[in-house]
Amino acid sequence: MNPLTEFCVGEVVDGFRIEQIEPLPDLRAVAIRAEHQQSGAKVLHVFTATDSENCLAITLPTPPPDDTGLPHILEHSVLGGSKKFPVREPFFEMVKMSMATFINAMTAQAFTVYPVASNVKQDFFNLGEVYLDAVFHPELKEDTFRREGHHLTLADNADLTSPLKVSGIVYNEMKGAYSSPESLMYELVGNHLYPDTPLGRNSGGNPERIPELTYQQFRQFHADRYHPSNALIFIYGDIPTAEHFRFLTPVLNEFNRRPVSLTTPRQPRWPVPRRLEKEYPIDATEDTVKRSFFTLNWLVGNALDPSLLNDWEVLTRLLIGNDAAPLKKALVDSQLGTDVFFAGTWAAAYEQEFHIGLKGSEPDRADAFERLVLDTLSHIAAEPFPRARVEAAFQQLAYDTLEVKTLFPLLLLNVVNAAWPFGADPLPFLRFKEDLAACRQRWETDPGRFNRLIRTGLLDNSHRLCVVLRPDRELQMRADAAFTKKMAEQRSKLGAQQIAAIAQTASALQAAQGVPNSPAALAKLPQLKASDLPAKPQHIPTNVGQVAGITVLRNDVFANGINYLELCVDLAGLPVELYNWLTRYTDAFNKMGAAGQNFATIADRRTACTGGLWSNTTIWKHATDSSRTVRQMRFGLKTLDDEAEKAFGLLGDLIFAVDPRDRDRLSDVMTQTRAAYRTTLVNDGLGTARRQAAHGLSREAAIEHLFFSPAALRVVEELTGNFDKHADEIMQNVERIRDFLLRARWTVSFTGSDSVFRTLTRTLEQWATRLSNKTIEDVLPAFQPFATPPREGLAGPMLVANCAKVMSAPHLAHPDVPLFELGVYLANFDYLLPEIRFKGNAYGGGARYSDALGVLMLYSFRDPHIVETLATFDGLRAYIAAQHWSQTDIDRAIIGSAKEEQKPIRPGAATGSALTQHLRGDTNEQREQRYAAMLRATPIGVKETLLRVLDANEARSAICVVSSREKLDEANQKLGGNSLSVSNILL
């Protein structure tokens, strides 16, 4: 059906007046805009016959009235039960039992959006029905507000003398967000660049202000904002528009149009730049050296003007697009800090910004930083940009217009929501290819325009904010003391009865979360049946062939003019002592020069002919042989048809001749690596906890731990701190790995055009002549299983906890796996998530089986609790033993699990997945067998399997909790003889 002939503009169909029909040839789509006459709801359908991943998203402009996080708390609560579906947490029930490829809700600076997507038509409408009812008819009970937002509780509700506290899911989530200097920087810049408009308020919620929000304000905000007249409904996919109209009409007919006011007040521009100095908390025992952050931030213009956006995207790539780009290079070379951060152009709602920042510095260098940025910008503005650099910047942007990424519908939604919620026409934003061509045309006729933009947009623009963020060892203590005092004051004003009431309400709130939805309530939710599922999992269409002794997979997936290549080199036979150096090799590959060219030249070649070129190390258990560890160095790139030959040439130069000998550059790279380790180990506290707990449970986990862990950071600290002593050692070992790779077995996966495949074939034939295929004796790094699985605490600068309990689990080929996975699914959604998130108010928690590492992990993150969460982990077995699941419960788990096997196949992800499956020996037949076994699952089978796995492995679980020193000490007092042995993440 072609919508161009289906309707005409002005026609009214099912209550919708068609306002505009526009072809979008680059998306192979047509845009249909319509307005629902009675309710005033606006619809934009991007119809494409070629994509079955349909998406529905309801967007509501919700500029925040204050800093209490009102839009964010409402976003959480709306999904907590509605008129047609009075189920507790219908959102999590639908996550659990639908085929959704995406289901979530997001609070942006000035709007809230509720998107769902599915590859299965009936499922798509089921999800849409639940979401529309949630948005327009949520229950918004006071308990939901208290749980999601904030409520008072006693530290121990059974002890009426214990201190008063605040809890709430958003409250804890935002405390987590305010823990890290990076996200604090983000909040500060947003708040202070727009001091006079709603854009300066915090839509997520400042934890200090969240407790001020009342239930009344919360309900009123919903009544004001969540009305169809204020709603923008975006639809994408291959279901005809008329069907969407028929589906939406009954919902929208319940409402009458009303006037909505949409204002987008602009921040008055400053006559002079401003500076803001703030502290962020670090632990009393931590070093403050090189821990300060600077950013320079400009408000550069109207984000609703698509041509301005492209100009800034191009200029940003010219200034900081790669390591050779002049502004980035000047900052790194200056040694004022360890690395560039917070750099780029992005929009805060309808205002466009440009940012550049530096991390790992000292407070007294802020002036030097600001001067250096401004001086460098003046120098850059004075010289014409080399033509090749501008070409490369345009080429980089072309990938954004062509690439069919995973969750493609969500990408389009984001593009539309860059304009639509602010009253601007979204269609020009969807014509990115034409826009980019126009931008290029402007540059061709006026080559000095980007130089001028530096002057007018940055150097002569006084709406500039410099933020200095420095570490403060006492800040957390002061904040904690102030909070304790405030709570004590509040408590002293309450009578014994009021205290008892707080304890009782808080316990009741907690207890209510533990009651599962009744089967009758659940039955109201629309759902697929297990019998509706496809009989087989989806397979990537792959042809396996040989080119000059190299195995080549060719994937037949539509790639829209982009070519994807991944190349794996088998690490079997790598000398054992070199495992420690693999991450230094990938650093060198990603950041150093090669084949006689320095890193800046190589960086320019990367941006000139690829849309990304990277390497990393991957480790999995083999899919059928439990004793085999598959270890691969993986390289990947994407490239356009015309650039493929050059891209393969660059990849070859790097693999055959990466050069770690530029000492100064290597020193900079090590400094950046150290900074990245320090940041990520803390910010991804759960990842740190998980790797630490797993490393004595399987050989694969041990190797991962070798690459990235507090122990790996110690090694990096030593190499960086005593660089002169270690430089030769680093260089030699990088070269040894480089030379080893030329003797090992190669496997290639490719998705893209025929002509590029021919180029690839020729390239591989050439490369093969330079490889020496020797059989190499394989020795694995020594694996030290835990003698006694440890209970560890890792202390770092953060306000919340991340807990992990990890145990061994069956190998992927074991017949238990399909039912075990269903059991883990049920344990996750029916026990761990309710206990840890709904009752415990952590941001997240659950269970996950990693077949790559052969472990099961129970986890929580951004969690206010430690002792309680560990007890929840320990209670899993008893919970499972007490369950009497019905076949309906099992079917829901089957549908929820099957979606992993039924996802849309997108070219980039398919290239990597096909390669992984091939190298692990995970054949289509095995995947089909596991899928079929899952479809046959019975309640008793699932229960017995999960109990069998827990009984065999749980006694030898390892525990790791990543949190603050204070929280760990506090937990240890309660844990008594079972305490955690605590050490620091950072030195």
Q: For binding to Zn ion (CB under 5 A), which residues are involved? A: 173
Q: What's the closest the beta carbon of residue 766 comes to Zn ion, in angstroms? A: 52
CB count, 10 Å around CB of 643? 20
Side chain identity at residue 346, one-letter code:
W
Task: Tell me whether residue 208 or residue 662 sits nearer to Zn ion (CB atom).
Answer: 208
Closest-CA residue to 560 (of 753, 391, 415):
753
Measured CA distances, 693 to 1, 127, 702, 830, 963 (Å) = 55, 37, 10, 24, 14
Task: Tell me whether residue 225 or residue 738 sits nearer to Zn ion (CB atom).
Answer: 225
Q: What's the closest the beta carbon of residue 91 comes to Zn ion, in angstroms? A: 12
Task: Tell me whether residue 143 or residue 173 sits nearer to Zn ion (CB atom).
Answer: 173
Q: What's the closest the beta carbon of residue 76 comes to Zn ion, in angstroms? A: 6
Q: What angle do CA 560, 566, 568 make, to 5 degrees?
A: 170
Full strand arrangement of the beta sheet holding 339-348: 274-281, 464-472, 292-302, 351-361, 339-348
Q: What's the closest the beta carbon of residue 112 comes to Zn ion, in angstroms? A: 11
The answer to whether the beta carbons of residues 502 and 508 sit under 8 Å apart is no
DSSP per-residue letters across 846-876: EEEEETTTTEEEEEEEEES-SHHHHHHHHTH
**Chain centroid, CA 772 distance in Å:** 40
**CB-based contacts of 947, cutoff 8 Å, min separation 6:** 877, 880, 881
The answer to whether the beta carbons of residues 484 and 381 sit under 8 Å apart is no
Task: Tell me whether residue 205 or residue 326 sits nearer to Zn ion (CB atom).
Answer: 205
Q: Rounded distance, CA 646 to CA 655, Å?
A: 14
Q: What's the closest the beta carbon of residue 843 comes to Zn ion, in angstroms? A: 7
Q: Rounded distance, CA 297 to CA 189, Å?
A: 7
Q: What's the closest the beta carbon of residue 72 comes to Zn ion, in angstroms? A: 6
Q: What's the closest the beta carbon of residue 131 comes to Zn ion, in angstroms? A: 17
Strand stretches in 715-772, DSSP E: 746-751
The answer to whether the beta carbons of residues 237 and 54 sit under 8 Å apart is yes
Task: Tell me whether residue 177 or residue 319 sits nearer to Zn ion (CB atom).
Answer: 177
Q: What's the closest the beta carbon of residue 809 comes to Zn ion, in angstroms? A: 30
**CB-based contacts of 114, cutoff 8 Å, min separation 6:** 57, 58, 59, 75, 78, 79, 105, 131, 134, 135
Length of the chain equals 987
Q: What's the closest the beta carbon of residue 116 comes to Zn ion, in angstroms? A: 17
Virtual CA dihedral for 376, 382, 387, 389, nearest 10 degrees? 10
Q: What's the closest the beta carbon of residue 107 comes to Zn ion, in angstroms? A: 7
Q: Rounded distance, CA 932 to CA 780, Å?
A: 35
Strand stretches in 25-110, DSSP E: 29-36, 42-47, 54-61, 100-103, 106-107
Task: Tell me whether residue 131 or residue 293 sits nearer to Zn ion (CB atom).
Answer: 131
Buried-state track 535-568, b at ≥16 Cβ within 10 A, e below 16: eebbebebeeeebeebbbbbbebebeebbbbbbb
Task: Tell me whether residue 105 or residue 730 sits nearer to Zn ion (CB atom).
Answer: 105
Q: What's the closest the beta carbon of residue 859 comes to Zn ion, in angstroms? A: 18
Task: Tell me whether residue 89 or residue 891 sits nearer to Zn ion (CB atom).
Answer: 89
The answer to whether the beta carbons of residues 383 and 25 sit under 8 Å apart is no
Task: Tell me whether residue 89 or residue 173 sits nearer to Zn ion (CB atom).
Answer: 173
**CB-based contacts of 629, cutoff 8 Å, min separation 6:** 619, 620, 621, 622, 699, 700, 703, 780
Q: What's the closest the beta carbon of residue 78 comes to Zn ion, in angstroms? A: 12
Residue number, nearest CB to Zn ion: 173
Q: What's the closest the beta carbon of residue 346 comes to Zn ion, in angstroms? A: 20
Burial class (CB in 10 A: 0-12, 13-18, 19+), 308: middle
